[in-house]
Amino acid sequence: MSRKPSEPSRGRGALSWPDNRYEPASREILREDEAVLEPLPTVVLPDTARTIISQNESPDVGFSRSVNPYRGCEHGCVYCFARPTHAYLGLSPGLDFETRLFYKKDAAALLQKELSRKGYSPEPIALGINTDAYQPIEEKLHVTRSLLEVFDRTGHPVTIVTKSSLIERDLDLLISLSARSLVHVCLSITTLDKSLAQALEPRASAPYRRLDTIKALSEAGIPVAVLVAPVIPKLTDHEMEQILKASRSAGATSAGYVLLRLPLELKELFDEWLRHHRPDGAHAILERLREYHGGQLYNPQFGTRMSGSGPLSDMLSQRFRIASRKLGYGSLPPLETTLFIPPSKITHSRLFPDFVP
């Protein structure tokens, strides 16, 4: 049984602390503890990671390597597919995921070390795929910026997916990378409805700000795409064409979409969110999602887990293709991989003051 306060905590997406799947026993929150839940503070701790580049073998995503500066995400998106990863830390995928955060304080040094390994061959690295690299704590910690500095100085290609306008802070680095065809940026937009966005993703940038960010990046010459994600049946799916149109007007040149994914503990969290925020439509939304996954709330099978299968999936895909074609969306330009210089071969120590090859 999950631990649940009497009322949702202000500015948070999850409504409870469901026990993670590795817990030997379930717990309930004591009533006398409820008073301390408002407001629920964010705790940020260092993550003593030994490596920084993760390898990906999933055929569903367009990258083989990624770097995640943070564990957990203060954006608090209730639908976030990464929530179950907090169980690996002995924490709840619910409110712990958005209030107990970890940052990789040695991220830049670790990246420099791995890029200097003998025989390293550059391929685009996806930055902040599991959790957003530009979540609110980045404004103070600058971990993501330190990684971008490494990519910029070594001429290494990088891709970014975010739902934060904070990325505009790093326009100087993005412009430098873009001038050498070393960066793609993608803004994720779930809904254009401000009130719905506040409930679904309480600490992410508002939808109109993400459109402003697409415009700012595009005007700076940075290749920018939009990701309509997640598409939530009977809640946001009707907005697909509107989001694509607004993003194209803002300057996005490529687009994609991902169907809502509810792995592991996320099923309970999203069900709980629906029954609080959309009680009249909760059952219909979940039933429609099951229609996309052969009667299940989620099917983890490669090839269909991000798009579903069957007639509804085909219709959604067709809608996306028709709208994208009408709006003139295409592909982002290829990224350059021949400009890479390993940190160990850059002799000017001022570029990497903390790096020992």
Which CATH number fits the domain that encloses residue 76?
Answer: 3.80.30.30
CB atoms within 10 A of CB 145: 19
Instruction: Flag whether pLDDT at 172 surpasses 90.
Output: yes
Strand partners, 100: 43
Residue 2 included in any domain: no
Specify the 3-state DSSP secondary structure of 17.
Answer: strand
Asked if residue 11 belongs to a domain, the reply is no
Amino acid 86: pLDDT? 96
Query: Comparing 48-52, 155-159, 209-213, 331-335, which segment has the lowest mean pLDDT?
Result: 48-52
pLDDT band per the 50, 70, 90 thresholds, residue 344 = confident
Residue 167 within a domain: yes
The closest of 146, 74, 75, 72 to 105, measured between CA atoms, is 146
Q: Comparing 253-267, 314-328, 343-357, which segment has the lowest mean pLDDT? A: 343-357
Q: Is residue 297 part of a domain?
A: yes
* Average pLDDT for 139-153: 98
Chain-centroid distance of CA 127 in Å reads 10
Specify the pLDDT at position 350. 47
Q: Is 252 within a domain?
A: yes
What mean pLDDT is reported for the chain? 91
> Is 70 exceeded by the pLDDT of residue 11?
yes
What angle separates helix 240-250 from helix 311-327, to the nearest 10 degrees?
30
At 224-283, the pLDDT tens digits run: 999 999 999 999 999 999 999 999 999 999 999 999 999 999 999 999 999 999 999 999
Q: Is residue 324 part of a domain?
A: yes
Q: Between residues 335 and 302, which one has the greater pLDDT?
A: 335
Quote the CA–CA distance of 186 and 207 in Å, as a whole number: 14
Q: Do residues 172 and 146 touch, judged by C-beta distance below 8 A?
A: no
Question: What is the domain count for the chain?
Answer: 1
Residue 21 has a pLDDT of 82
Query: Does residue 22 lie within any of the structural domains?
Result: no
Residue percentage of the chain with pLDDT more than 90: 79
pLDDT score of 27: 54
CB atoms < 10 A from the CB of 4, how many?
A: 19
Tell me if 12 is assigned to some domain: no
pLDDT on residue 25: 58
Mean pLDDT on 185-205? 98
Which pLDDT does position 35 carry in this prediction?
42
Residues 66-99 have pLDDT tens digits of 999 999 999 999 999 999 999 999 999 999 999 9
Q: Give the helix/strand (H/E) hosting 188.
A: strand 183-189
- What is the domain range of residue 87? 31-329
Whole-prediction pTM value? 0.92
Structure tokens at 70: 């943070």
**The pLDDT of residue 118:** 93
Asked if the model's pLDDT at residue 332 lies above 80, the reply is yes
pLDDT above 70: percentage of residues in the chain: 90
